[in-house]
Amino acid sequence: MTVERGGRFALDPGRLDPGALAETLRNGGSGAFAAFEGRVRSENGGRAVRALEYEAYEALALAEGEGILAEALGRYEIVDARCVHRVGSLGVGEVAVWIGVVAAHRGPAFDACRFIIDAVKSRVPIWKKERYVDGSAEWTRG
Amino acid sequence: MSAELKTLRVLYFASLRETLGRSEETVTTRAENARELLEELARARGKLLGNAVVKVAVNDRIVPWESAIQDGDSVVFLTPFGGG
């Protein structure tokens, strides 16, 4: 079940399907589609990562996420944009965050994608706990 | 003269939730703003909160530390985010 309220930003406790997510974007004959996938790395700071957990402050995360996407739509010449962030447990290689942007041209599509991921990392209240191969675990910054 | 007594709901996420062993609590306080509330809780909890907290949300909105808090508000102290 995807946690969303009819908006462009969502939190999802289940595996993300980038192909299916891309289909949800309004297209209208646009020439460009750019996507960004953040995936779970196998190491961080020299430590081997086994898995991680994302925890969100849901009400604020949804509000901030919607605000970021609205800002992107106002700032760049784009047609549509969406972002879905995982919550819960993820294994190495899984998609942690997906962003898709549709625009008439590639420049704004790439630019908006970059703006959105940077803003999500700094402004959306989601926390990450890394579980390491050696059995330890730690809350870390994105 | 001290401010009126108010009852707040304080929610904890991630490392704060684990450190305190709870995800929320009801706090009765005379603190007038979020900064005073954090100082009061940090005194009561010893180690807790203190340095880890970087922002505060009241009623699901990030607000300045000096914003007044009212009876019935929900308050969330935020540690650095790790999403993306």
Which among A63, A96, A127 has CB closest to B14? A127
Answer yes or no: do B82 and A123 touch at CB < 8 A: no
Residue A135 identity: G
Query: B81 to chain A: which residues are within 8 Å by CB?
Result: 121-127, 141-142
Please tell me the distance in Å from B14's CA to the nearest CA on chain A. 6
Task: Name every residue whose Cβ is closer than 8 Å to that of residue A113 and which is 6 or more positions away in sequence.
Answer: A34, A35, A36, A99, A101
For residue B68, the 8-state DSSP code is B
What six digits make up the tokens of B29? 């306080």
Interior angle at CA B19, CA B17 and CA B20, nearest 5: 65
The yes-or-no verdict on residue A90 having pLDDT over 50 is yes
- The domain segmentation of chain B, as residue ranges, is 6-78
pLDDT in tens, A8-59: 999 999 999 999 999 999 887 899 999 999 999 999 989 999 999 999 999 9
- The domain segmentation of chain A, as residue ranges, is 9-133
Partner B, chain A 77-136, Cβ-Cβ below 8 Å: 85, 96-97, 117, 120-129
Q: Give the chain B residue whose CA is nearest to the CA of A98.
A: B84
ipTM of the complex: 0.92
Domain at A9-133: CATH code? 3.90.1170.40
Q: Give the chain B residue whose CA is nearest to the CA of A119.
A: B84
How many A-B residue pairs are in contact by the CB < 8 A criterion? Answer: 68
- Which option is the CATH number for B6-78: 3.10.20.30, 2.40.50.180, 3.40.50.300, 3.30.2130.10? 3.10.20.30
Which position has the token pair 């508000």?
Answer: B73
pLDDT in tens, B35-59: 999 999 988 876 666 668 999 999 9
**With pLDDT > 90 as the criterion, what percentage of chain A qualifies?**
89
